Amino acid sequence: MSYEEKIKSFLGRYVNVDDLKNDDNIFEIGLVDSLFAVQLVSYIEEEFDIAITNQQLDLDNFKDINSIAAIIRVNLAV
């Protein structure tokens, strides 16, 4: 699975992702919730073995599947 596919299947546990495109803002489709946010961040950190810094913890880096995949790639490249 690509990063994008993995992220999408994680999101599927929370919201309906059937029609979700990689550039759809995930925070506008529903579950903008603290627990969801922290679980998303922990999932990414554990699944890809990276540590997201406070600077990177920004809505822009998590707003859609493409952005999340990009932040994963940045961290894996370091």
Q: Where are the alpha helices (DSSP H) in the chain?
A: 3-11, 34-48, 59-62, 65-77
Give residues 5-34 in contact with other proteins (rule: CB under 8 A). Answer: 12-16, 27, 30-34
* Least distance between other proteins and beta carbon 47 (Å): 17
Structure tokens that stand for 21 in this block: 């495109």
* Using rule CB under 8 A, residue 51 touches other proteins: no
Q: How far is the CB of 23 from other proteins (least distance, A)?
A: 18
Q: Which is nearer to other proteins, 23 or 33 (CB)?
A: 33
Whole-angstrom Cα distance, residue 6 to residue 61? 17
Are 11 and 3 spatial neighbours (Cβ–Cβ below 8 Å)? Answer: no
- The site for other proteins (CB under 8 A) is made up of 12-16, 27, 30-38, 41, 54, 57-59, 62
